[in-house]
Every structure is written in structure tokens, then in C-alpha cells.
Amino acid sequence: MQATQETEGRRTEMSEVREADVLIAGQGAAAYAAGLYSARYQVDTVIAAEQFGGETAIGGVIENYPGTGDIDGFELMMKFKEQVDKLEVPTLNSNVASVSKDGDRFKVELEDGTIVNTLAVILAVGRERRKLGLPREEEWMGKGVSYCSTCDAPLYRNKSAAAVVGGGSAAVEGAILLAKYAKTVYLLYRGDKLWRPEPILLKVLEQTSNVKVLLETEVAELLGSDMAGLTGVRITKPYEGSDELTLDGLFIEAGADPRVEIPEQLGLDLNPNTNEVRVDRMQRTNVPGIYAAGDLTDGTDLKQTITAAAQGAIAALSAYNFVMEHSSMQGEEPDAVTASAD
Ligand SMILES: Cc1cc2nc3c(=O)[nH]c(=O)nc-3n(C[C@H](O)[C@H](O)[C@H](O)COP(=O)(O)OP(=O)(O)OC[C@H]3O[C@@H](n4cnc5c(N)ncnc54)[C@H](O)[C@@H]3O)c2cc1C
């Protein structure tokens, strides 16, 4: 949104400037949980992100979020959002472009030009899944193409065949898990040996007779139709005389990259092994006033909606405490909200 101002007889465009106590970057599970807690602590909260719902919203059916039963991910995220909207937390539909220190506050610039001056920031911007870059890949996400075997493997109970693309621990783990459900699982990897998966996983893989490991093999084309979604793949190296595999599902486990542009602007510590934002048990980063939650962080290896939401809630408590400390330093009376880390 743009505001205009009369300056010496000329109208000049200027960005909208807003004040907040806490700005939350993201519109996924971590962000909305943070928004819910933050609003209930009665701090002035703003959420900013262009796209609603994060990965949960595009994950298809979610079967492991407690209390909801099987639920479409988009619908689950709508429930998150509705709960936050009820508390009148504004959502600005623009991504955060930059965050910089400005005196004792942070200046957050959104891509649409809006500026938010805030005391604390919660980063909940998630990760970018590595894709194969093939036609129809995004279109068939949730229609046979998945990026999360931990999440979707049970949907393949008694199915004939599924394939996992990748050669690291996540791919091997995914293939082993899928083998409990699908009759045949192909593990497709472009290298001539798997890429340093954990030794214990290799041992289990060797003992799992329904996983066929196809090395030096890439996916050349996704096969299927608009109605059916993915029905198979064409591979670069024929297997048993054919370059086509008929599949019920394809799991792309080629890794995910935490979105670290903003963390890098702020000089946040990153975990050297995973490149995730380093957080402590209260979701604090190394910069006072900046908190991070969800898949962006190294808070847990279990990257799921429930853990992202839990971390968002904890980050909100830390941000609230920071805002209260700041207010008491300024001689303002803190709100009577009890917050405890216990
Ligand atoms: C296909 C698939 C299926 C899954 N299935 C399940 C499942 O069944 N059960 C389960 O528990 N988990 C599942 N997951 C994992 C789960 O979705 C994630 O762990 C969870 O979404 C992480 O939440 P998050 O809020 O940390 O990040 P995300 O959900 O990724 O949200 C990040 C948000 O940040 C926004 N953003 C990005 N850049 C910016 C920026 N510059 N400024 C502001 N906002 C920005 C994004 O638009 C998004 O709104 C699945 C994941 C995938 C990919």
C-alpha cells in the first residue's frame, strides 16, 4: 500500500510506515502459532508474508496433527489463520525484503514498500525444497509427487510401487519407511554410490528386500495426466529393459535449503552442518530481539507442522518478554499478562 504526501506543492509517493511490538515473517504453522500467542500476550503484532499457509497448506492430507483427525493441509492452515484473525492481528500480504537495526528498534522493509518499525522480530520463513525442475512437478504436488516421505508414506499402504529420488540419509530413510507400505520401492540416485547416508540406515536398507536401488539413474520425465496426476517416470538408465517405471508416487528427497537471506542480513549464527538458524530452547538467536521458529531453525530434526507450531509459540513468549523488558526500561507499565517459560 502506498501513501501520498504534499511536499512543497508537489505530490510525492512515500511508503506506508507502521509501528509494531512484534513483526512475524511468514504465514505458515510457526508464524500463525507465534501470532496467536503474541496476540494473547497483548503485544502489538503484525504478520507479513506474501503466500498463505506455508508447506503445510500444500502438503495434501495431514494425518498426524493431533486433535484434527485426517485433514487437508490447506484447511488446517485456514483454521490456524482464522484463530489469529479473530484476535485482530493484521496480516500484510507481502514478503519481508530486509531487516536492519534502527536505534533500539528494527526496521523491516516489505517487498511492497511498507516499512514496519518493530521492537522484536520472529522469523518463520521456512525452507525452500530442492526440486527436480521437471515439467508438471509443481502441478502434481499432492497428486503423486511429494517432498516429504515421513509425512506421506502411510498414504501408500498396499500401493504397487513408489520411488524416492535422492541418495542421502533422508532419501534412504524415506525408502525404508515407504517399503513398509508400498510393495516395491525404487531408490533413484544419479551418483554411483549413495551419498554418505548414516551407516545404520545402509544396513537396514540392505535388509529391506522390496527396495530396489537404481544408481546412476535420473528422472528424465514425469508421466501421467491432468486427471490422474503422476502415474510413472521416464528414467535415464533403463531398468529391466525399460526406461519407464510405473509408479503410484514419487518422493523427491533432494534436500531443502533454509531461507537465510534475512538471517544473513542480520548476522545471525547459522548451524555449520545444516545452514539453519541457530536457536536456543527459547527460540532466541544470537541477536537480542530476533527470534526464529519452525523449519528455518536447528531447533529440532523433526521438521513437522506440530514442531513448527510449538516453536512459534515459544518464540512469541520470548519476544513478549523482550518487549516487556524494553517497555519497563522506557518506564512504561507492562501489561498484566502472566508468561512463564515453565
Ligand atoms: C509435501 C509436504 C507434505 C508434508 N506433510 C506433512 C504432514 O503430513 N505432517 C506434518 O506434520 N508435516 C508435514 N510437512 C512438513 C510441514 O509442512 C513443515 O514442517 C511446516 O510447514 C513447517 O512450518 P514453518 O512455518 O516452519 O514453514 P513453512 O510452512 O514453510 O512456512 C514458511 C512461510 O514463510 C513464508 N516466507 C518465505 N519467504 C518469506 C519472506 N521473505 N518474508 C515473509 N515470509 C516469507 C512462506 O510463504 C510461508 O508462508 C510436509 C511438508 C511437505 C513439503
Task: Count CB neighbours of 267 within 10 A.
Answer: 11
CA of 64 to the centre of ligand 1 (A): 15
Q: Which atom of ligand 1 is nearest to the CA of 50?
A: 47
Q: Which atom of ligand 1 is nearest to the CA of 31?
A: 25
CA of 128 to the centre of ligand 1 (A): 9
**Lowest-pLDDT range of 7-16, 93-102, 233-242, 270-279:** 7-16
Nearest to 304 by CA among 149, 95, 131: 149
How far apart CA 22 and CA 85 sit, in angstroms, is: 16
CA of 318 to the centre of ligand 1 (A): 22
Which tens digits make up the pLDDT trace of 143-178? 999 988 877 888 899 999 999 999 988 899 899 999
Query: Which residue bears the cell 523491516?
Result: 108
CA of 255 to the centre of ligand 1 (A): 14
Per DSSP, what are the bridge partners of residue 110? Answer: 96
Helical pair 305-329 and 73-85, crossing angle rounded to 10 deg: 20
pLDDT band at 201 (very low <50, low <70, confident <90, very high): confident
CA of 56 to the centre of ligand 1 (A): 5
Mean model confidence pLDDT for the chain:
91
**Lowest-pLDDT range of 45-54, 222-231, 322-331:** 322-331
Q: Is 166 in the pocket of ligand 1 (CB under 6 A)?
A: no
pLDDT band at 14 (very low <50, low <70, confident <90, very high): low
* 338 has pLDDT over 60: no
How far apart CA 304 and CA 306 sit, in angstroms, is: 5
Q: Which domains does the chain have, with CATH numbers?
A: 2-128+256-329 (3.50.50.60), 145-252 (3.50.50.60)
* CA-based end-to-end distance of the chain: 41
CA of 143 to the centre of ligand 1 (A): 18
Q: Which atom of ligand 1 is nearest to the CA of 64?
A: 9
Q: Is 253 in the pocket of ligand 1 (CB under 6 A)?
A: no
How far apart CA 231 and CA 143 sit, in angstroms, is: 9
DSSP result, 46-105: EEE-SSSSHHHHTS-EE--STTT-SEEHHHHHHHHHHHHHTTT--EE-S-EEEEEEETTE
Which tens digits make up the pLDDT trace of 175-190? 999 999 999 999 999 9
* 13 has pLDDT over 90: no
Query: Which residue bears the cell 551419498?
Result: 195
Q: What are phi and psi of 100, to 5 degrees?
A: -140, 155
Position with higher pLDDT, 13 vs 123: 123
* 336 has pLDDT over 80: no
In single-letter form, the type of residue at position 81 comes to: K
Which tens digits make up the pLDDT trace of 290-306? 999 999 999 999 999 99
Q: Is 59 in the pocket of ligand 1 (CB under 6 A)?
A: yes
CB 152 within 8 A of CB 140: no
pLDDT band at 199 (very low <50, low <70, confident <90, very high): confident
* 230 has pLDDT over 70: yes
Q: What are phi and psi of 28, to 5 degrees?
A: -105, -165
- Cα dist from 16 to 3, 21, 35, 156, whole Å: 6, 17, 22, 49
Q: Which atom of ligand 1 is nearest to the CA of 293?
A: 26
Q: Is 249 in the pocket of ligand 1 (CB under 6 A)?
A: no
* 268 has pLDDT over 80: yes
Burial class (CB in 10 A: 0-12, 13-18, 19+), 239: middle
